[in-house]
Structure formats: structure tokens, C-alpha cells
Amino acid sequence: MHTNSQIPTPIRSSVRLATPTRWRAALARAVSSGIVLRYKASTGMAVVTSGSDECICYVTDGRICTCNACANGDPVCQHRAIYLRERGLLDPEPTPPAIGIRSFSDLDIELHNAGCVAA
């Protein structure tokens, strides 16, 4: 028999992060699923269609969404990704890294000033 102090506490198995890679993946899924952003004329509220059920729409403002992913604590969802793209806040193409340009760190500068050659 368990007492209250012996009942195991559920531990969340993983923490989802809002990374640029996850946002781009969510946007790609949203576009391929045909998710569409609309605005309610009387309030200006953003309403986004579901990619899996044509009878369902979700409300979002880019920070929150009424979908299951948001309700379960995921900081990234397809509906917010579409909203952010339409507002110009999410670029579907990542900026390529600069090639051939090396920035010097403080350590590089300190080593140079000390007469050491950094590899």
C-alpha cells in the first residue's frame, strides 16, 4: 500500500524546444497539409485551418494556439508557423552561413597579443 509520499510523480519524458529547425519543419508540414490562415472580419482574430480535419479551425496569435500541440506544451505548431510566416516573422529558408570568413574570438586576439600562434 502506497502513502501520498510514495506515489511516483510523473516525469515528462522530453522537453520540446522552439528551435529554428523545428519552426521550419512545422512550416513545411503546414504548407504540405494545406493549412490556411484567415482573419475573422468582425474581430481581426487569426483563425487557422487544421491539416487533418477540414471541419476544425484553431485560433492563434503567434504565441499561443488552441491546437493539441500547444495544449500539450509544445512551443512549436504548424498553425503558429503559418501565422508567423504570413506576418513576415518566420523565414522558410535559413540564411546560409558565411563561407571563407573567420571571425576572431577574444581568445584568438589574446593569443596573438601574447605572441602565440593560434591553430
Using DSSP bridges, classify how beta strands 46-49 and 37-39 pair: parallel, antiparallel or unpaired. antiparallel
| Per-residue model confidence (pLDDT) at position 85 | 95
List the chain pLDDT tens, one digit each, 119 residues: 555 566 665 555 567 888 899 999 999 999 999 999 999 999 999 999 999 999 999 999 999 999 999 999 999 999 999 999 999 999 877 666 666 555 555 556 666 666 665 44
Predicted local distance difference test score (pLDDT) of residue 66:
97
Q: Nearest 5°: phi and psi at 23?
A: -65, -45
